[in-house]
Structure 1
């Protein structure tokens, strides 16, 4: 082939690619939907990809450009996203018209990672409905009450460790190292029926594999996640995995051995695996083989290990740097201890209003998910973006985001939104339609009760036995890490822990 011919082919391909990209990025312009001008290939993700801002602030900055619209356009790389900023429209999409938006966008390749791709979050349509119906009883009040003592034992192991190490002089810890150990132990015992103490045995396999699997701050994991969400064909071609085969094998072996032991020894526990075991012979529900059980238990572990532990890191930081809040919270704890004779009950901790407010305010200020997503499954008409425009018809496959972090930091809905103020949850200020930490509608977080109880028990036991104080390494206010996909601190969560000489007996 002559050089001139080859050059012509290359130039033609480049021109075609240019116009293809240009056509994709003019999507919202053609629809007259407000949007911020995207960059070819990177779309509106450029500031985050180039590590100039966090993903949370990236979306918040664009959200703030369009205060008078019901929604605006956003490009996740080349994929157009409708970001809904009007609470009434969010409610309409997520609840009233749920059947039009019942799915999430997948981010795990079914062929490469069959176990991880079968988790509840990724399931669609009727398969999701069947699985949700089956797993929901795992998180009822009665099941939470049954798991309460198991969580308390994990919290006691945690505080015993802190007391023994810190003493009256105190010791500084990075809570980003401590909290995953507690979360690991809670999920291991409540979901898998395995008793683990990650403080006495910090290198146990369950913890090490979990830490490896759930490291969403890792550049490798972040790259794999973004590739599968946005360029699935390329990710599949290069066989890019989010979770290693080692992680797959470990969790499958754990579930297999747990099921076998329970079958042989007649063991019954109030957990997710037990429910799935009992459903194995149900002809009208999903088929439960070991792979299906492993998939559901795995996503439970994923959420409990990483997401909840990060939230608890933010919670203890705010309690430590706000001594008035810590003092008020400890007063409530000591009231409960007196009422229960130093034996806190599920009902007592669940009824603590200020503790509930502290946890909720943490999750408002630092929501685990920057946005919640939905995928349109059948044609739906969005109202005009502004009163002078026309309605927009969404097609199956179109993507919707609810900007959780942006709504939680909007002064229209929260006074002084950057301030940590638990009282806002006690004085009637918070409108539940703009508090989306656990999502909204039928596809909200199935494990929200579990997560809240896990965090509350940890805070209760820590403040019962320890004082939390800022250290020279403590960064306040927190600077969010621009490199991480999950919301976390740029410099860790360094705090000094000091054992208390409390007038309330710890026996």
Structure 2
């Protein structure tokens, strides 16, 4: 009996694979043949390449095609190669691709399940409208003094560091974690209190996102095999972390109410919403975690890459330092203001070039929600039509575009000059924070903390690569974001120090 059931199961799996393998072929969409269970991403599933590296190989193989049919394990996906198609998906016809392909059951994971990135349809729209006022330029200006203070603490931490070579991933995480806890939860994260031990709040951050941790593995699973994530009812915020976060939120909320304290932070904004919408403690904590996800790990990765690139290209440190001197001279030696950050063109260019050379996220995956048909008009691409239906998924290939020589000459070279006019870049090609209505809502905050943190370090230190750093940098294959596999060690020497 058991043998019959097992045989039947195997036959069913083989039949399902056979039917699924013709998914794109039946629609006359070109693409590589999928393997059973692993689709076209076997090298990623078996730990030999990142998902981005696997898709890059396919992207390059199908040069001249506007799209390619691929299989992310057993899930058919349309890999987009035509920037005009990206614009249709993200901007012009975004209602036909309303949702991100990242599912979290809100009942099972009430903290992460309320993050706008995973919310769908009307619920996403309502939440986005609710929290957008918390991320305006005016709100950033209110938060800036806190971020500036943290950047000063960062400088002191580096200046007094006992080691010649500092592990930069640890440093940038301490910085972004400190910003996030002060602004999203209204408390100090104590990230700079010790050079050896990690604070309780650092440990919370690590348990949420550290590669190799259970949460890191679950996030990778949800990103690569989303249907399996749904089946296993993946929970990204554990019950233990949920309890800790809700306790923190409850304590800070009570303290502010009893002492009639109001802060210039995101937590204060959420408390106002909580009064208007009668949010419970878990819902308030969920909004704080949303700010955390936008401002902690992704920002730390970009900060790490920026400092690494500047260490490898010291002439750009000097250009940024000259900008800082000019601004401080014009404002009689006063600290750089929020508005003056936007005047730092070389800092901007170096930051955006870092976002291009190694994006923190390779792809965006969207779900089709309405029937949609596309035929390329650009003569660069072969004339062919694809019809998509609700439930289909499409991959926007950000990192593939960044390495495409038809869009960026010498794409592997760090050359900030190409980003000096970044406002006029084609946003269907260069979209590090997404594009259209679902663009990352925390973009302003992320850029603000990165710019002032980098400016403070460059003002005070010459940054160089430690001989202990292994080159070339390799990516961690088991993280859903692009983080270095090995430690990146940099040396900081006080400016004008002999």
TM-score by shorter chain over 0.5: yes
Q: Distance in 2 between matches of 1:29 and 1:479?
A: 35
Q: Distance in 1 between matches of 2:127 and 2:293?
A: 17
Query: Would you say the 8 A contact 1:138–1:270 is kept in 2?
Result: no
Pick one of 65, 69, 72 that aligns with 1:69.
Answer: 65
Q: Residues 62-141 of structure 1 correspond to what in structure 2 (within 5 A)?
A: 62-141=58-137
Q: Distance in 1 between matches of 2:227 and 2:28?
A: 30
Q: Residues 272-421 of structure 1 correspond to what in structure 2 (within 5 A)?
A: 272-282=266-276, 288-340=279-331, 341-383=333-375, 387-389=382-384, 391-421=385-415
The residue that corresponds to 1:26 in the other structure is 22
Aligned residues: 491
Residue 462 of structure 1 aligns to a residue whose secondary structure is helix
The residue that corresponds to 2:417 in the other structure is 423
**Cα RMSD after superposing both structures:** 2.3
Query: Would you say the 8 A contact 1:109–1:228 is kept in 2?
Result: no
* 1:246 corresponds to 2:240: yes
Q: TM-score, normalised by structure 2?
A: 0.92
Query: Would you say the 8 A contact 1:157–1:197 is kept in 2?
Result: no
Query: Would you say the 8 A contact 2:209–2:216 is kept in 1?
Result: no
Pick one of 141, 147, 162 that aligns with 1:145.
Answer: 141
What is the CA-CA distance between 1:195 and the residue it aligns to? Answer: 2.5
User: Does the C-alpha gap of structure 1 residues 402 and 211 become closer, same or farther in structure 2, counting only changes over 3 Å?
Assistant: same
Pick one of 461, 469, 482 that aligns with 2:456.
Answer: 461
What is the CA-CA distance between 1:302 and the residue it aligns to? Answer: 2.0
Pick one of 140, 158, 161 that aligns with 1:162.
Answer: 158
Q: 1:278-327 deviations in whole A, cap 9, x for unaligned? A: 23354xxx662222221121121123121100110111001001111122
The residue that corresponds to 1:262 in the other structure is 256
The residue that corresponds to 1:187 in the other structure is 180
User: Does the C-alpha gap of structure 1 residues 233 and 423 become closer, same or farther in structure 2, counting only changes over 3 Å?
Assistant: closer
Query: Would you say the 8 A contact 2:367–2:391 is kept in 1?
Result: yes
Q: Distance in 1 between matches of 2:213 and 2:20?
A: 28
User: Does the C-alpha gap of structure 1 residues 437 and 460 become closer, same or farther in structure 2, counting only changes over 3 Å?
Assistant: same
Residue 172 of structure 2 aligns to a residue whose secondary structure is helix
Query: Would you say the 8 A contact 2:371–2:387 is kept in 1?
Result: yes
Pick one of 3, 7, 17 that aligns with 1:11.
Answer: 7
Unmatched runs of 5 consecutive residues or more in structure 1: none
Q: Distance in 2 between matches of 1:240 and 1:441?
A: 28
User: Does the C-alpha gap of structure 1 residues 320 and 72 become closer, same or farther in structure 2, counting only changes over 3 Å?
Assistant: same
Unmatched runs of 5 consecutive residues or more in structure 2: none
Residue 236 of structure 2 aligns to a residue whose secondary structure is coil
Q: Distance in 1 between matches of 2:271 and 2:350?
A: 37
Q: Distance in 1 between matches of 2:114 and 2:445?
A: 21
User: Does the C-alpha gap of structure 1 residues 174 and 296 become closer, same or farther in structure 2, counting only changes over 3 Å?
Assistant: same
Q: TM-score, normalised by structure 1?
A: 0.91
What is the CA-CA distance between 1:226 and the residue it aligns to? Answer: 4.2
What is the CA-CA distance between 1:422 and the residue it aligns to? Answer: 0.8
